Amino acid sequence: MKAVLTIAGSDSSGGAGIQADMKTICSHQLFAESVVTALTAQNTTGVYGVEEVEPAFVAQQIDVVFDDIRPDAVKVGMVSSPAIVRAIADGLRRHEAAHIVVDPVMVATSGSALIASEAVDALVAHLFPLAEVVTPNIPEAEVLAGMAIACPEDVQRAAELIAERCVAATATVPDFADSDAPVPAIMIKGGHGVGEPDAADDYLRLAHGEHIWLRGPRIETCNTHGTGCSLSSAIACNLAQGFAVDVAVREAKAYVAGALADGLDLGRGSGPLNHMWRYGPVPC
């Protein structure tokens, strides 16, 4: 059985973060492992508290996972401070981790901020060069690219600017300055909508510069808690099983679309997806 490691924050409501990641991994019939970066007190209506894990303990979790059941892919989600970013990057380099997917989580579905502003530069400099795929949504891509995104052409331009920022940032980091650090594939998720109102089209810029639009219908639901977490975890699952990046992303998009369309309705706010939708209807 292939193993996939999620490095992220815990969601006490079970809809996002590590809990969503592990449900996604298990739904792909893979073995789920976890490294906790933060504890959150949250539910479908918002995030009410965050407690960071000490960077040294984050590093220790990574070491003991890799020393025993080595993961075939890694998903990195909520990382709230530069020190934790560096601890993760050091650990993944130390263990020569493969198939890393970075979801640069900045704001929860409810609108609550989840990352310190100074951690964004650390993400780009230390984690993006290790990643095979990076999966910002449109608001996150706007922060990373330093521009507003209002149309499909803006999405493509933002992806190019993020790629350029990766190259520029790694040139200033001693670990990468003397190496040809690769640019990750960049998937800008279209759930926030910049094109046709009934479409949810995602954009994928592959590492060598090829670009692909991933077309899909917009699924009318207010229950989207954990969508980004689930998508990035599904991509990691597909990479662990040997899929090429474009195929891994397409399959992950289809998985999340099915989980949204299933129509699970829990909580008083933005509810979670049904991660197990492929296994039949939820019993009444």
**Catalytic residue positions, numbered:** 189, 224, 226-229
Q: Are 100 and 182 in contact (CB under 8 A)?
A: no
Q: Which residues pair with 33 in a beta bridge?
A: 5
Q: Is 133 exposed, middle or buried (0-12, 13-18, 19+ CB in 10 A)?
A: buried
Tokens of residue 38, six digits? 């933060």
Interhelix angle 55-66/82-94, rounded to 10 degrees, is 20
Distance, in Å, from the CA atom of 226 to the CA atom of 30, rounded to the nearest integer, reads 19
Give the distance from CA 123 to its chain's centroid: 12
